[in-house]
Every structure is written in C-alpha cells, then in structure tokens.
Structure 1
Amino acid sequence: MSQQPPVRSTSSPPPRPDASMSLLTNVMDHSLDDGYAEAAARRAEGGKGLPSTLRAKLGVGAALLLAAVVVTIGAAQARISAPTLAKERQQLIDRINAETSAADTLQKNVDTLRDSVGAKQREALEKHGGDQAELVSLLAGATAVKGPGVKLVVDDAKQTTTGGGNPREKQGFSDTGRVRDRDMQRIVNGLWQSGAEAIAVNGQRLTALSAIRAAGDAILVDNRPLVPPYTVLAVGNGQKLSTAFQDSPDGQYLHVLQQNYGIRASISAQDEVRLPAAPSLIVRTAKPQNTGKGKGTS
C-alpha cells in the first residue's frame, strides 16, 4: 500500500497576544518622530551650523547696514550739490527780478509819455475847439467825468476751467464759465445803446476807438489786460439806464450767461460814479481851419 503524504494545514498561524495593541507598540518602538530624529542627526553631523534665528538676525542687520550706507551716500551727494543748485536758483531769481524791474521802468516811461501826449492833445482840443471844446473832449474821453450812473460787476463762474468745451451757441466760446471778450463787447454795447454817456471797465476809459479783444483767457481793453471781476462804470441816469440795459437784448444775453453758465453779475444804480480820462487819444485826421486872419492849419 502506498503511503499518502501528510496533509498540510492551510489555517493561518494564531495572532500575537499583543496584536490588539499595535498603536501602543508603535509608540513605544518609535518614541521620537522620524523628522525630529533626522534633524537631530543633521545637527549632530554638522556641529558648527548657526541657528536659523541667528542667521535671520544677521541677514536683517546686513540689509539695514546696506540701507544706511545708501542713505549716507545720497545725503553726502546732496550736500555736495546743494550749494551749486542754490547758486543757480539765486541767479535765476536775480535775473527775474532784474528783468521785472526793467519792465516796470519801461512801463512807467510809457505811462508818463502817454499822459504827456494826452495832456497836449487835450490842451490843443480846448484851444482850438471853440465853444464845443468841452463837449468834444467829453465825447472823445479826453477828460475825466463824474455823475450819476450804474455799476455793473461781472465775474467768472465759481467753478471754471481753461480751454476745451463745447462752443457757446456757435459764438466761438468755450463752455467753461469764463467771461469772454465777446461777452464784454456785448455788455458795453448794450450800455451805450441804453443811454450811457461814458463807460470805463476796471478803470480803463472807453472811447470811440477802444477795442476789446482776447489774449488766451485774458480780456484786453486797448491792449491792457484786465483781471476779473470786471467792474463796468457807466455815467447816465442811474435807474433808467439800469432798467433799459436789463430789458435790452444784451442785458438778456447776460442773464442767459448767468442762468446757463454760472457767470456772476450784479447791477446797481449809483448816485455818483467817477471815470478817468482816456490814457491817450490818437488823432486820425486833421483839416485846415479858417481863423479869419488868413489860411492856416491847426
């Protein structure tokens, strides 16, 4: 009879008694975390490495030292160049002051000559004007005048800008709230048409030859720039002149500027206004005058 091989048991070995305590076993076998162990090993091998906090402190200190060096060098350079810049600035200031003084002197000379010419013209007008000399002098603006009238003050809007904007009613204006030369022309012409006998704008007496023009945003009267607010003085029947102007088309035009563009304006009747004489008068034409003693010219 053949003997059969022994049958091997396929059952698994019995579990360890401590199998149910694997977590506690692992903690006991690995009491130190692996990461800490590796770090400790590296420190032990290096031996001479600096702590990370000390390296950070050294880095911050080096950065502060570098910043201090840069600031020191910049301050030293500024201190060296300061005298040169101050000298150049002072030279520019001196040049500006000198040129301004020279311009003021020339302007005074021009004003003196203009007054002298105006005085001689008025003297000649009084001498040869006969009975109408005073009237002609008044109409020509050659003499100062005073009397009842109106005071009209016109100023830019509170919030104004320069340049750009839409045209104001196709009149070539910029919608900026600024008083323009065309505005002032209409105001002055409206006062003339309402019965004004003499007009001055910011102390500039207007004559039949006066021109109101613009240079950029500035208004020129006889080539002299005016600064807002613009004070217009007109001699005439105060209350009547004020009412007539406000009812005129030019007065309504000024009202539209107030309503639509914020331009400020006020008008009031005055018991007395004083207007200076025109700075100078230009004689355009001359003709012979028969004095009765022969032919001559004046």
Structure 2
Amino acid sequence: MAETRERPLPDHVTTPLLTLITQQALEEDYRSVAQRRSLRPGAEPPRTRMLAVAALLVLGLLVGVAAVQNSRNAAIQDAGRATLVAQIEQSREELSDTQAAIADTTRENRGLTDRLTGLTTTREATTSRLRRLQVATGYLPVTGPGVRIVVEDKPDAGERELVQDADLAKLVDGLWEAGAEAIAINDQRLNPLGAIRNVGTAVHVNTVPLSPPYTVRAVGDTRTLQADLAATTHGAEFFALAQQIGWGVDVDNVGELSLPAARQRRLQHVETGTAEQRSGGGVEEGQP
C-alpha cells in the first residue's frame, strides 16, 4: 500500500484565533483607508508614487547630463583626433624633408670624399716628385747606400799629372749615367747651379776650393752602381786615365751614406745649351 505524504496545514489553521482575528481586522482597515484616500478629490499621491516620479526625474536629468557630456567628449575627441592626424602628417612631411636633406648631404659628402681622395693622391704624387727633384738638384739631404770613391794624386806628380776638374767631371758624369741619385765631392753636394772647375792647380766645387784626396760619394744601388759605372763611356775613360797616370783610386760599397744639401744659390742667368754642348761634358753646365 502506497505511503501518503502529510501535507502542511494552512496558516489559518495553525494561527491562534485571536491573532488571526486581529490581523484580518487590521488588513481590512488599511485597505478601507487606502481606498477612501484614492477616491477623495485632490488627495495627495501615495509616497511610493512620489518617490517613483522623483526617481524618474533624477534619472532623466542624469541621462540628459550624460548625453550632453558624451556629446562634448565626442566633440573633444574628434578635435583631438583631427589635431593628432594633422601633427602626424606634419611629422611625416618633416621626416620626408629630413630624409631628402640627408640623401643630399650624403651625396655631397661622397663627392667631397672623392675629391679629397683625388687631391690627396695628387698631393702625394707632387710631394714624391718634389722630393725626387730636390734629391736630383741637391737641395735636400740624402741618406742611403751607395759607393765611395777616393781619388788621390800620383806621388811626386807634375802639374799635368794632377787630378783636374775635367777628370773629376768625367767620374761624376759616369756616376750619373750609372744611376746615382745624389753625389758629393769632399762634402760639397753637386747640383745644377754648381760647377767643378780649376783655379790654378786647385779644384773648386761650388766655388769652394778642395784639397786632395778627393772623396766622391754617390748614393745609389750598391748591387749595380760599380759595374754600371765601369760600363759607361765617362767612367771607362776615367778609370783608364787613372791607370795610365797612376792615380790612386779606391772604390768601396757603403751601406749608408749621408750627403748634405747643396748650398742655396740664386739663379742669375739661364741659357739653353745645344745637344752637342750637353753631351760634351758637364763641367760648365748650370753655371750661373
């Protein structure tokens, strides 16, 4: 047999009789009073209705303020966005101009660098040429390996058997032909304005009188200078004459020679010589 659940008893059964009568009476009284007030002309609205109306008014006011504020914010945001876009566009234009200026400057710097490189190369070439000319003309001290040749007169030699200016000139011309870079006789550096000449029996170089023995120093390649000197016409003539007369000639290779610069002299007169004069000897060449 199925079990039946017990249902809870209603409130009017469980509530005491006196309490039930009181509650029902109060509810009826409140209901009657409320109904009379609602039907009375000019009666005030209930408190809850007033609060609802007030709440609606406040809500409407808040919605209006929020709408106005949102409208203002939207306008401000639109203005700020437009300003920001304008600033971005201006910054892009400035960046483009700056990049163009950088490109122009880079090209200009590249051109200046190429020009500087060319000028540096020209300067180095000019400096090297100037040094070669200074060495060749004798206006620059020179240090380097070379050959030292000491020439002495024959003992008890007569006047005609003494070493003369033309004899030393032959030796010097032979050294130039053999590839000597710089030559000095008794520390007198030879240059185009100098001369080797006799004054009486004394040999003068650059107008300075010299005494024997005559030490000729020539800077050049020690591996070939001696052999090339003997193979030249002037060198061969000098050594043949020295052997014939009996001069003392001592030739040595030197690892390092130091030749002084020639004395500075002012050029007073220049005359172009003929090929025959230039090939006939260098004694008077360059004489001012």
- After TM superposition, the score normalised by the length of structure 2 is 0.47
More helix by share: 2
User: Taking structure 1 as the reference length, what is the TM-score of the superposition?
Assistant: 0.46
Larger Rg: 2
